[in-house]
Amino acid sequence: MRGIGALPIWVYILASVIKSAVVLGVLLTAVAYTVWLERKVVGHMQNRWGPTRVGPFGLLQPAADGLKFLFKEDLTPPHVYKPLYIAAPLIAVIFALTSISMIPFGNSVTIAGYSIPLQITDVNTGLLIILGITSIGVYGVALAGWSSNNKYSLLGGLRASAQMVSYEISLGLSLVGVLIMAGSFSLRDIVNAQRGHFLGFIPHWYVLPQFIGFFCYLMAAYAETNRIPFDLPEAETELVAGYHTEYSAMKFAMFFMAEYANMITVACLATLLFFGGWNGPVFGPAILQAVLPVFWFAAKVFAFLFLYIWVRGTLPRFRYDQLMAFGWKFLLPLALVNLIGTAIAVAW
C-alpha cells in the first residue's frame, strides 16, 4: 500500500478514518444537492421555477425530501421474493458509494509534518477496480426487477441489465486510449501525467488527443448510469417506473441515491482521465495552494454534472433497439478505432 511506508500505522488509520468520514459526508450531501440542481436546471429549461418554497431558492428541499422518505410507510408487497427484494437496493447503493474510495481529490497535504494524500486509497490498479465495482452494481437493478414479481419491473430490470452489460465494453475500451498514453492504471499517475502546457497556455489534458475516446466514454457512461437519452429501463411513460416500481420510501430513495452517486463517480472519472483532475492555476499563500486543487476538481465535476442535467432536459430517449444498435454497432467499433489509432500514434 502506498503511503503506509512513510506514515506510522496509527497516523495512517486515523487519517483513513477521517478521510472516509469526510468523503462519505460530502458525497451524500452532493447526491442530495445534485437532485436539487437537476430539479432547478430542468425546471428553468422548461420555463418554470423548480423548487422555490422550502428555504431560499428551494435549498432546503433535499432535507425535506429526506425527511419525507424516512417517514413514509415502507411497504413490502406480499408477492415479492423477500430476500432479494430487500438486498437489491442495498447492493445498488453500497457499490455506488464504494467506488469513491479510489478517486483522488488533490495532491498531498502536509498536516503536523505527515504528508497525507487526498485519496482514501491509492491502488495501482484503481481504474480497473472502479470498472469492476460498476460491473457488480448491475446486480442491484437486475435483482430488483426480478424480485418484484411484476411484469413491468421484470422488463425494466432485464432491459437495464442488458444495456449496462453492453455499454460496459465500450466504456472500458474508451478508457484504454488514456491508459496507453498515461502508462499506468493508478488514477493519481494518470492525473500527474496531464501536468504542463503546450505553448504555455493549452493544458496537457487528455481530452485534446483523445476526443474520440472522450465522446465514447461520455456516451457509454450515460448509458451505464441509465440517464437520458438511455433511460428506457426507468422511463415513466413506458414501464410505470421500471425496475423500482414496487419500491417505496427508503428503498426507493436508495435506488435514487445509487443513481446519483454513479453520476458523480462518472463525472469524477471524466475529470480525472480527460480533463486533468485537480491541475489548474495555483497561486497565493500556502493555505490557498492546498485548497485550490480541490476547488478546481470540484468545479470540473460540477461542470460535468451540469452537462448531464443539460442533456437530460434537452434530448428525447432512444427506443430500446436503437439503444442496443448504437452501443454495439457504432460505439464499440468507434472505441476500437480510437484504441488502434492511439496505439499506433504512441508506438511511432
Partner 1 sequence: MISIHLILFLAFGAVALAGAINLLAQTHPINSALSLIAVMAALAGEYLLLGAEFVAAVQVIVYAGAVMVLFVFVIMLLNAGVEEHTKGSHVAVLFGIPGTLLGSILVAWVVLRHSGTGAVAVGALPGPPKTIGPLLFHEFLLPFEITSILILVAIMGAVVLASKPPSSPPGGPKGVD
Q: What are the residues binding partner 1 (CB under 8 A)? A: 84, 123-125, 128-129, 131-132, 135-136, 138-139, 142-143, 145-146, 154, 157-158, 161-162, 165, 168, 172, 185
- CA 312, CA 46: separation in Å to the nearest integer? 11
Nearer to partner 1, 161 or 210 (CB): 161
Question: Least distance from C-beta 147 to partner 1, angstroms?
Answer: 9
Q: Which residues, at least 6 apart from 126, have a Cβ–Cβ distance to it below 8 Å?
A: 102, 185, 186, 187, 188
Contact 254, 94 (CB under 8 A): no
Nearer to partner 1, 25 or 183 (CB): 183
* H or E element at residue 158: helix 151-182
User: How many CB atoms within 10 Å of residue 208?
Assistant: 12
Question: Least distance from C-beta 276 to partner 1, angstroms?
Answer: 23
Q: Whole-angstrom distance between the N-terminal and C-terminal Cα of the chain?
A: 34
DSSP state string for 250-294: HHHHHHHHHHHHHHHHHHHHHHHHHS-TT-S---SSHHHHHHHHH
Nearer to partner 1, 77 or 132 (CB): 132
Nearer to partner 1, 61 or 161 (CB): 161
Nearer to partner 1, 106 or 157 (CB): 157
Nearer to partner 1, 164 or 305 (CB): 164
Q: Which residues, at least 6 apart from 168, have a Cβ–Cβ distance to it below 8 Å?
A: 131, 134, 135, 220, 224
Half-sphere exposure of residue 259, counting CA atoms within 13 Å on the CB side? Answer: 22
Question: Least distance from C-beta 241 to partner 1, angstroms?
Answer: 18
Question: Least distance from C-beta 115 to partner 1, angstroms?
Answer: 24
Question: Least distance from C-beta 100 to partner 1, angstroms?
Answer: 17
Question: Least distance from C-beta 136 to partner 1, angstroms?
Answer: 5
Give 92: exposed, middle or buried? Use CB within 10 Å, 0-12, 13-18, 19+: buried
Nearer to partner 1, 50 or 172 (CB): 172
Q: Which is it for the CA torsion 97, 103, 109, 110, positive or negative?
A: positive
Question: Least distance from C-beta 161 to partner 1, angstroms?
Answer: 6
